[in-house]
Structure 1
């Protein structure tokens, strides 16, 4: 356990080194937040003041919480493991006394912990100043969010881990990674809330772990789901985490047993 805690600390320290990148990322998130919130508010206004239960304040809150959490959750892809598989360096990782999947998860949780403030707080402040953002006044949403956000990061990592494992079978994983990024961005609720999806698309989203990566923590933190509904949302996230981690272990076991690492 101590080794995994050190890996989480290393993940935090690794990304905290690139401070100017954090500033640039926060600025980018803020600019896109202004664009996104403006579009969402315009859509709500043109629909008569509400869409699928989202009024202007809920729409603005959703938009800015998405921008605050998107870097923390890590929705825009990651291919470090795929590159190590392609070069053969993953053989060194597999020879280490630590579990490949869990060590990567620990490091990614450290990354997410760092991203939460420098990449998430500035956009949220801008949203509060210039848009009708509103957060709950009760304690429960924040307590549940303290569980929901790490679960979202972990589910995102577990899915990215599996996509990277495709490199055991494919020489070039750019196509698979691109498809994953598109699917995760749409079905997680990053583009528009999942509640705005037509019925058939909402059913597809519900059958995937993607809403647990962003829509779930946004709903919990904004207070859109409360009480036992919020607890149920967090429980669904935990179930998806268990399922994706288990599936990742099955895929990893099959890959390392049946295939030769590219490069040696």
Structure 2
């Protein structure tokens, strides 16, 4: 129950920023309309680009907007606080707590993601469904698989962001690495353009990278591209990256906390 309390506390913490949530919904919705208009023009010229029809492509757009904050596709998702605690040396206090550092921050991130999914995910998707012909599933099982895929995507996203945050143990300032990581996530997750549209070998390589598990796979589950055996393989792909990156995070954490040096003294 310790980590459940951390997750609940994180949920309540982000729920207090109601104006920021409303502003985020507005921003996601506006960008959704802009990108959707671009996709309509693009799919008008190439009706089956990437194996999607226009309705599936538009669903991809609004799924990306719904998961933008949930999976922290364009930011640290609160882990910049961990970076600052490492830089200032306050991390020493965290290490004295009777709780695992990684599980503590993972629990907090899951609470944050749950709030963002409800607060900044549902509304833009609903607006998109009202304004455009989306290919949303009518099968509750598909929705359940989509939510499971979103959870796995959040785990992968956290594992990547946690590794970036841990790099602050060796860097004086992790801002640059965070920016590089954010750009990589935007490009290789499918946020800018579905990975299925990428040409040749680039698309094949991008589909195997961990960022594909954050957005591309959940979106493909929702639009029905992944079903049956392909759906199982997609979920296993996400779970494998989540386990591998979380395990790597534990190794890096172990190496980093053997000797803690406060920057500047």
- TM above 0.5, yes or no, is yes
The answer to whether the 8 A contact 1:50-1:56 is kept is yes
Query: Which residue pairs with 2:141 in the alignment?
Result: 140
Q: For 2:202 and 2:12, how far apart are their aligned partners in 1?
A: 39
Pair 1:246-2:247 in alignment: yes
Query: Which residue pairs with 2:219 in the alignment?
Result: 218
Give the 5 Å matches for 1:160-199. Answer: 160-199=161-200
Query: Which residue pairs with 1:119 in the alignment?
Result: 120
Query: Which residue pairs with 2:12 in the alignment?
Result: 13
Structure 2: give runs of 5+ residues left out of the alignment: none
Query: Which residue pairs with 2:74 in the alignment?
Result: 76
Structure 1: give runs of 5+ residues left out of the alignment: none
Deviates further, 37-46 or 138-147: 138-147
- 1:179-219 superposed Cα distances (whole Å, 9 cap, x missing partner): 00000011001111010112222233234210111111111
Cα distance change of structure 1 residues 204 and 211 upon mapping to structure 2, 3 Å threshold: same
Q: For 2:3 and 2:16, how far apart are their aligned partners in 1?
A: 20
Query: Which residue pairs with 1:88 in the alignment?
Result: 89
- 1:80-138 superposed Cα distances (whole Å, 9 cap, x missing partner): 11111011111111111111011111111111111112201121121111111121122
The answer to whether the 8 A contact 2:89-2:261 is kept is no
Helix, strand or coil: the match of 2:257?
A: helix
What is the deviation of 1:259?
4.8
Query: Which residue pairs with 2:58 in the alignment?
Result: 60
Query: Which residue pairs with 1:40 in the alignment?
Result: 39
The answer to whether the 8 A contact 2:66-2:120 is kept is yes
The answer to whether the 8 A contact 2:92-2:260 is kept is no
The answer to whether the 8 A contact 2:10-2:108 is kept is yes
What is the deviation of 1:61?
0.6
Q: How many residue pairs align between the two structures?
A: 262
CA RMSD of aligned residues (A): 1.3
- 1:129-179 superposed Cα distances (whole Å, 9 cap, x missing partner): 111112112232112122111111111111100001111111111110110
The answer to whether the 8 A contact 1:88-1:263 is kept is no
What is the deviation of 1:263?
4.7
Q: For 1:207 and 1:138, how far apart are their aligned partners in 2?
A: 28
